[in-house]
Amino acid sequence: MAFIILKASSYLLMIIVAFMFKKIGLLKKEHGKALSYLIMRFTLPAAIITSFASVSFESSFLYLIIFGFLGNLILMIVGFAITKRKSRNDKILYTANIGYNVGNFTLPFTSSFFGPAGIISTCLFDAGNAILFLGLNYPIVEAALDKGKKISILRILKKLFSSPSFDAYLLMVILGILKIRIPEAVSVVTSEIGKANGPMAMFMIGTMLELNFDKKYLAFFAKMFTLRSLVAVFMSLIIYKLTFLPFEAVKAGIIACWSPMGSLGPAYTAYHGGDVELASFANTMSIFASLIIIPTLAIVL
C-alpha cells in the first residue's frame, strides 16, 4: 500500500511541478504538445514493445481488447442518444470526448503496480480503445454531424496505421499470438526509452492542464463523469468475472476502465468546431478524478 501511495504521489508531484512551471512562464502549453509528440511516437511505442517482450503472451488476454472497444462504443451510442435533439455543440462534446487516456496516463501506473501481466492487459485494453477512438471516432462523428459525408474505410485505416502506438500494439499482438519473441537487444533499447514514458506523460499533462470553475464547465464535467463511471462500473464487474485471467491482469483491466478522458478529445472537438475550452476543462478534471480513483482501486483490489 505504501508503495502505491508513494508512486501515485510522485506522479501527482510531476503534474503539479509542470503546472506551476507553466504558471510562472518557464513552460508553455506548446511544450506539452511537443512532449505529446515524443510520447506518442517514441516513448509509448517503446514501452509497449518492452511490456510485451517481458511476459509470455496468452491468447486469453485478447479479451481485454473487446473492453477497450466496448467502452468507447457504449459512450458513443449514449452520447448520440442524449444529444439527439440538442445543439451541434452538445453533439460534438458528448461524442468526440469518449476515449480513454490509457497510454499516457494509466499505463505508467499499472506498469508500476501490477507487473508484466498487468502491463499486457492495459496495453490490450488500449489497443481496443485505439480502434474506435483513434480510427473510427472522427469519421463517424463527422458523418453524423454532416449527413452528406460518407465514412471512408481507407481514411480510417490510414488514420489507424499512422499511429506508431497502434502499430506497436498490432505488431506485438501478432508476434505474441505466433509465439515469436523479439531479440533481447531490441528489448534492451526499447526498455531504456520506455522508462521515460511515465515521467514525460505526467509533465505533459501538467503543462496542458486548464482550470476554469465556471458552473457550465462543472455541470458538463459532472454529466460526463457520471456517464463514464456507470460504464466503468458495468465493465469492471464483467472483467472481475474473467477468472481464466491472472488476477494481476484482471486488476489492471478494471483500472483501465477508470482511465481519464482521451487526450485527443479536445483536438477532435476543435476539428468539428465545438467548445474546445469546455472539452479541455472536462479532460483536466477527469485526470484529477483518475488520480484519486486509480491508486484507490490499486489498494482495494
| Residue spans per domain, the chain | 2-133+164-300
Whether the pLDDT of residue 88 is over 90: the answer is no
Q: How does pLDDT run across 14-46, given as a tens digit for each residue?
A: 888 888 898 888 888 778 778 877 877 888 788
Contact indicator for 35, 185 with CB cutoff of 8 Å: no
Looking at residue 259, what is its pLDDT?
Answer: 93
Strand partners of residue 100: 261
For residue range 136-170, what is the model confidence (pLDDT) as tens digits?
777 777 777 776 566 667 777 777 777 787 788 78
The yes-or-no verdict on residue 188 having pLDDT over 90 is: no
- The residue ranges of DSSP E strands in the chain, in sequence order, are none
Task: Return all residues near 234 (Cβ < 8 A) that are at least 6 apart.
Answer: 74
- Which CATH class name applies to 2-133+164-300? mainly alpha
Cell numbers linked to 269: 472537438
**Dihedral (CA of 126, 131, 136, 138) sign:** positive
The arithmetic mean of pLDDT across residues 240-258, rounded, is 89
State the DSSP code for 261: B
- Comparing 301 with 128, the larger pLDDT belongs to 128
In the chain, count of helices (H) and strands (E)? 16, 0
Nearest to 197 by CA among 75, 102, 71, 84: 102
Q: Is the pLDDT of residue 86 over 80?
A: yes
- pLDDT for the residue 4: 67
- What pLDDT was estimated at residue 57? 67
Residue 51 amino acid letter: S
* Model confidence at 204: pLDDT above 70: yes
Contact 224, 97 (CB under 8 A): yes
* pLDDT value of position 47: 80
pLDDT tens-digit series, residues 260-301? 988 778 777 877 888 877 888 888 888 889 888 988 898 887
Q: What is the dihedral of CA 129, 107, 48, 251, to 10 degrees?
A: -80
Label residue 224 by pLDDT band (50, 70, 90). very high
Q: Is 2's pLDDT higher than 70?
A: no
C-alpha 249/C-alpha 53 separation (Å) is: 16
